[in-house]
């Protein structure tokens, strides 16, 4: 399966011999526990701090300096809370549903390109894999809402499933222009092509960020962001939990650690959405206008990993901040507006983007805007 | 295939058969459709082991993201929240069917044995290499060359199904 | 000598599982009274067919054609599920039930 288990391979070579599947399992474990869970926990703190800033409050400030350990306190609270199952709930599905959500959101981390050498697995169907595993979230929400035996929950769950299934289409259609440009579904290759080359024979290989590849891609990136917001049930598209109409929507009846799992799944999904946007459109681990492979000195691999990891995290976390920003800026849509926007707005627009990118690739022989402007005479 | 890979595949096959049994015989239709989700997952793993990486991705997106959600939707729209009209009431018929099904298993075993031995007596030379190679490019080229007409036909079919489904289910 | 694990993870196993899935699907179509249950059975049968195509594309031809057929099967299954569920919703609105044996307007 291509260059799969990249991270596992490098771990095997660093630490010594051992069967590869042990290292593959260990790397999956490490990525989920070192990236997904801390991010999910810490994001709750950041979200509250950001919300406080926007509303001119102080926010959590009791646990640790600037309240930075608040998420640990929250975790302890959630674990020690009473494990409450409502009367008449369907116990099996009630237990299963939050797990499906977390499973779907966390599995996607395996294919995220944190750096050129730090990646769970560079699958040759990477983009498809991320799209596929995140669909597990929809059954999780629907089953959780039905099993808690509450009408508000059921309404929220039905809304949520309809919304996720519908917005899957603009998400996929907005990813396709990138696949068209790169000619591959492998995330590592897609990111690698978005580098920058000042001059030389390699200009033809690098076409800078896909965001600036052509005008249609520029639009497609914004469509992907909007559709991704809806896909992850964030404000202004959080109809499934709409606290002013549906109490708390699909997770009304969930308390303690099960609610924690839902929250964790949601934050992990937001991170995955932003990371996919970063990897596909914003150049992933690349530093703008700088190519680490073409410097006057050769950096050791560890430095490159750290720099690329920092770059990727900065881009992704900035997008996450924008997501939190939108939460306190935009009002929630109505259900009919939401569906109308998807089917009458985003789907036709993303089809136009796809067609436009195809025409661009045909007319300019696959060269990007940056290559046309700066690369003439080289390659 | 390594021993570990074989064990993973065998677990997936066990999951497939066990959940397919639930799909067929569980009296509660909601549980049956949740079991169907796990059948799809098991079949997806089997696809991966037979070298169909792209098809496995499509299978998860279409079946789990599409068909399962549609089925759950239909179940929740056609049954009241507290009423167990979801249950299948032919419980007494389950046992004869189960017996017939178990009776068929030796026959299937023999049939699979015969058919597979006949096929494997002259296997293609490069099938392990074929299974390990990426398929996305091959599928794309095949769809636009040899299979262009069926491909176009399927697009028309999908459009027809979409319009037809909306037309049938519209409120009157 | 072939162990049972080898047997199950080779072509034999794929065909065996495919047959079991197809049989269970047919039993579901006959046994289920709930029309959604019948739809689930049809999905099982289609999955079994796809499984066979994939297995033979690896072990018999080592070519992509079998996988293309599976792709078409998946697409057709999706179209079929959409139409079938629309029909079921219509039936529910008409007769207040989704019991397949009560859909007998044409009989009397």
**SS3 for A185?**
coil
Task: Using the structure block, give the residue that is written with the tokens 């990236």.
Answer: A35
A194-253 tens-digit pLDDT: 877 766 656 667 778 888 888 888 999 999 999 998 888 887 888 777 777 777 777 777
Touching chains B and C? (3+ Cβ pairs < 8 A): yes
Q: Which residues of A touch B2 (CB under 8 A)?
A: 21
- Mean pLDDT across A149-162: 84
Contact B65 A158 (CB under 8 A): no
C30: closest chain B residue by CA: B97
A8 pLDDT more than 90 = no
Could you tell me the pTM of the whole model? 0.86
Whether residue B91 is predicted with pLDDT greater than 70 in this model: the reply is no
What does the alpha-carbon distance between residue A15 and residue A7 come to, in Å, rounded to a whole number? Answer: 12
C partners (3+ CB pairs within 8 A) are B
Residue A201 is predicted with a pLDDT of 58
Mean pLDDT of C78-82: 90
Window A:67-96, CB contacts with B under 8 Å: 88, 90, 92-93, 96
Higher pLDDT pick, A315 / C2: A315
Region A12-40 average pLDDT: 65
DSSP labels, B111-161: HHHHHHHHHHTS--TTHHHHHHS--HHHHHHHHHTTTHHHHHHHHHHHHHH
CB-count exposure of residue A168 (10 Å: 0-12, 13-18, 19+): buried
* Cα separations in angstroms, B88 against A11, A40, B41, B93, B102: 52, 42, 25, 11, 21
- Which of B64, B141, B159 should be substituted to probe chain A, the one whose Cβ sees the most A Cβ atoms within 10 Å? B64
pLDDT given for residue A2 in this prediction:
36
Q: What percent of chain B has pLDDT over 90?
A: 19
pLDDT in tens, A353-373: 999 999 998 888 877 777 777
- Chain A residues with CB under 8 Å of B54 CB are 125, 128
Instruction: Tell me the pLDDT of chain A averaged across its residues.
Output: 80
Higher-pLDDT residue of A232, A83: A232
CB nearest to C68's CB, from B21, B66, B143 = B143
Lowest mean pLDDT among A337-346, B98-107, C77-86: B98-107
Tell me which residue of A220, A168, A223 sits closest to A357, measured CA to CA. A220
% of chain A at pLDDT higher than 90: 10
Chains A and C are touching, with contact defined as 3 or more CB–CB pairs separated by less than 8 Å:
no
- pLDDT tens, position by position, B10-47: 888 999 999 998 888 887 888 888 999 999 999 998 88
State whether residue A1 sits within 8 Å of chain B by CB: yes
Q: Do B77 and C81 lie within an 8 Å CB cutoff?
A: no
Question: Given pLDDT bands bounded at 50, 70 and 90, which one contains residue A379?
Answer: very low
Q: What is the pLDDT of residue A15?
A: 53
Lowest mean pLDDT among A250-254, A346-350, B27-31, C84-88: A250-254
In whole angstroms, what is the distance from residue B34 CA to residue A187 CA?
31
A104 conformational bin, left if phi > 0, alpha if psi -120 to 50, beta if neither: alpha
Q: How far apart are CA A131 and CA A108, in angstroms?
A: 8
Work out how many CB contacts closer than 8 A connect A with B: 77
Residues paired with C99 in a beta bridge: C34
Subunit partners of chain A (3 or more CB pairs within 8 A) = B
Q: Which of B71-85, B86-100, B140-154 has the largest mean confidence?
A: B140-154
Q: What pLDDT is recorded for position C74? A: 92
- Min Cα distance A2 → chain B (Å) is 7
Pairwise pLDDT comparison (A131 vs A303), residue with the higher score: A131
Residue with tokens 């396709």: A176
Task: State whether residue A255 is helix, strand or coil.
Answer: coil
pLDDT of residue A200: 60
Which residues, 6+ apart, have CB-to-CB distance to C94 below 8 Å? Answer: C105
Looking at residue B88, what is its pLDDT?
Answer: 62
Q: How far apart are CA A92 and CA A99, in angstroms?
A: 11
Q: Residue C24 is nearest to which of B6, B21, B111, comparing CB atoms?
A: B21
What are the tens digits of pLDDT across the range A174-187? 999 999 888 888 88
Residue carrying structure tokens 């490069």: B126
Q: Does A280 have pLDDT greater than 70?
A: yes
**CB atoms A132 and B61 under 8 Å:** yes
A132 at the B interface (CB within 8 A)? yes
Residue holding tokens 């009473």?
A82
Asked if the model's pLDDT at residue A5 lies above 50, the reply is no
The alpha carbon of residue B82 is apart from the nearest alpha carbon of chain C, in Å, by: 15
**pLDDT at B128 exceeding the cut of 60:** yes
Q: Residue A7: enclosing H or E segment and its boundaries? A: helix A6-15
Non-local CB neighbours of A111 within 8 Å, separated by 6+ positions: A119, A120, A121, A122, A123, A126, A129, A130, A187
Distance from CA of A1 to the nearest CA of B (A): 6
Nearest to C20 among B10, B17, B100 (CB): B17
For A107-136, give one letter per residue: b (16+ CB within 10 A) or e.
bbbbbbbbbbbbbbbbbbbbbbbbbbbbbb
Nearest CA distance, B81 vs chain C (angstrom): 15
Average pLDDT over residues B42-58: 88
Partners of C49 on chain B (C-beta within 8 Å) are none
Q: Could you read off the pLDDT of C7-39 as tens digits, one per residue?
A: 777 888 889 999 999 988 988 888 887 888 889
Q: Look up the ipTM and state it.
A: 0.86
Per-residue pLDDT, A171 = 92
Mean per-residue pLDDT for A139-144? 88
pLDDT band at A3 (very low <50, low <70, confident <90, very high): very low
């Amino acid at each position: 399966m291509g260059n799969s288990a990249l991270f596992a391979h490098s771990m095997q070579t660093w630490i010594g011999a051992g069967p590869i599947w042990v290292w593959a399992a260990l790397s999956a474990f490490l990525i989920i526990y070192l990236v997904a869970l801390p991010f999910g926990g810490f994001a709750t703190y950041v979200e509250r701090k950001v919300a406080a800033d926007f509303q001119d409050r102080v926010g959590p400030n009791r646990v640790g300096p600037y309240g930075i350990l608040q998420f640990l306190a929250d975790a302890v609270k959630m674990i020690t809370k009473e494990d409450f199952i409502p009367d008449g709930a369907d116990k099996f599905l009630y237990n299963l549903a939050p797990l499906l959500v977390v499973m779907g959101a966390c599995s996607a981390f395996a294919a995220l390109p944190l750096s050129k050498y730090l990646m769970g697995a560079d699958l040759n169907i990477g983009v498809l894999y991320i799209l596929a595993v995140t669909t597990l979230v929809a059954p999780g929400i629907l089953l959780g809402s039905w099993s808690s035996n509450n009408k508000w929950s059921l309404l929220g769950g039905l809304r949520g499933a309809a919304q996720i299934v519908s917005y899957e289409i603009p998400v996929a259609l907005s990813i396709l222009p990138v696949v068209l440009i790169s000619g591959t579904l492998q995330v590592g290759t897609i990111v690698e092509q978005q580098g920058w080359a000042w001059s030389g024979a390699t200009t033809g290989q690098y076409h800078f960020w896909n965001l600036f590849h052509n005008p249609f891609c520029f639009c497609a990136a914004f469509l992907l962001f909007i559709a991704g917001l809806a896909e992850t049930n964030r404000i202004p598209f959080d109809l499934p939990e709409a606290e002013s109409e549906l109490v708390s929507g699909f997770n009304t009846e969930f308390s303690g650690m099960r609610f924690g799992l839902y929250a964790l799944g949601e934050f992990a999904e937001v991170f995955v959405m932003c990371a996919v946007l970063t990897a596909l459109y914003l150049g992933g681990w690349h530093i703008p206008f700088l190519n680490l492979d073409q410097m006057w000195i050769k950096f050791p691999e560890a430095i490159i990993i750290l720099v690329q990891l920092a770059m990727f995290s900065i881009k992704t976390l900035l997008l996450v901040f924008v997501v939190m920003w939108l939460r306190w800026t935009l009002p929630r849509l109505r259900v009919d507006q939401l569906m109308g926007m998807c089917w009458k707005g985003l789907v036709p627009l993303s089809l136009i983007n796809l067609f436009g990118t195809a025409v661009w690739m045909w007319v300019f022989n696959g060269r990007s805007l940056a290559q046309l402007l700066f690369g003439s005479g080289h390659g | 295939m390594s021993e570990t890979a074989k064990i993973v595949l065998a677990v997936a096959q066990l999951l497939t058969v066990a959940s397919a049994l639930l799909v067929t015989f569980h009296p509660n239709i909601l549980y049956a459709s949740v079991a169907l989700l796990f059948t799809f997952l098991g079949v997806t793993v089997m696809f991966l082991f037979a070298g169909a990486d792209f098809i496995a991705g499509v299978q998860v997106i279409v079946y789990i993201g599409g068909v399962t959600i549609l089925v759950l939707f239909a179940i929740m729209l056609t049954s009241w929240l507290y009423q167990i009209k979801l249950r299948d009431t032919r419980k007494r018929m389950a046992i004869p069917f189960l017996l017939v099904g178990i009776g068929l298993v030796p026959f299937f075993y023999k049939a699979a044995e015969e058919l597979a031995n006949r096929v494997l007596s002259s296997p293609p030379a490069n099938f392990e290499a074929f299974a390990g190679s990426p398929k996305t490019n091959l599928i794309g080229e095949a769809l636009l060359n040899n299979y262009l007409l069926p491909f176009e036909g399927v697009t028309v079919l999908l459009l027809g199904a979409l319009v037809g489904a909306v037309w049938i289910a519209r409120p009157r | 000598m072939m162990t049972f694990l080898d047997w199950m993870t080779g072509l034999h196993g794929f065909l065996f599982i495919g047959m079991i899935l197809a049989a269970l699907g047919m039993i579901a179509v006959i046994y289920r009274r709930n029309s959604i249950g019948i739809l689930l059975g049809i999905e099982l049968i289609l999955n079994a067919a796809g499984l066979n195509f994939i297995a033979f594309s690896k072990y018999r031809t080592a070519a992509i054609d079998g996988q293309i057929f599976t792709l078409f099967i998946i697409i057709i299954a999706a179209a079929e599920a959409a139409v079938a569920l629309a029909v079921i919703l219509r039936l529910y609105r008409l007769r207040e039930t989704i019991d397949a044996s009560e859909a007998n307007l044409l009989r009397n």
